[in-house]
Amino acid sequence: MNKTDLLFYLGVFLFCSGLLMVFTKKNAIMILMGIELMLNAANLNLVAFNQSTPGLDGQLFALFIIIVAVCEAAVGIAILLKAYRFYQTVVPDQFRDLHEKL
């Protein structure tokens, strides 16, 4: 197994683990962690395939992905805090009502 194959399989494993966490875990913070894993898998693939091209485009794209991932995490946690204050839980299955509690 050469280096690119190993890195590609690691990226596939990370992406699928993130997908599995997003689908199976009940806690919303675990879902956010799964999304982070998927973004990291994309980064790993970009950097690994950048090895076989002369430029630095893959690494720069990975840099911008990191920036967007940070924004996503910050806004996601803020929304979760707001939802926790409203529903007293962070399990998305229990976000049932769209109206205010009476």
Distance CA 82, CA 68 (A): 21
- Ramachandran region of residue 97, left (φ > 0), alpha (ψ -120 to 50) or beta? beta
Residue of 81, 94, 95, 97 that binds another protein (CB under 8 A): 81
Each residue 12-51 as x (binds another protein by CB under 8 A) or -, in order, gives: xxxxxx-xxx-xxxxxxxx-xx--xx--x--xx--xx-xx
Distance CA 92, CA 31 (A): 10
| First vs last C-alpha separation in the chain | 61
Query: Does 79 interact with another protein (rule: CB under 8 A)?
Result: yes
Residue 21 in contact with residue 37, Cβ under 8 Å?
A: yes
Residue 98 CB, shortest distance to another protein, in Å, is: 15
Residues that bind another protein (CB under 8 A): 3, 6-10, 12-17, 19-21, 23-30, 32-33, 36-37, 40, 43-44, 47-48, 50-54, 56, 59-60, 62-64, 66-71, 73-75, 77-82, 84-85, 90, 100
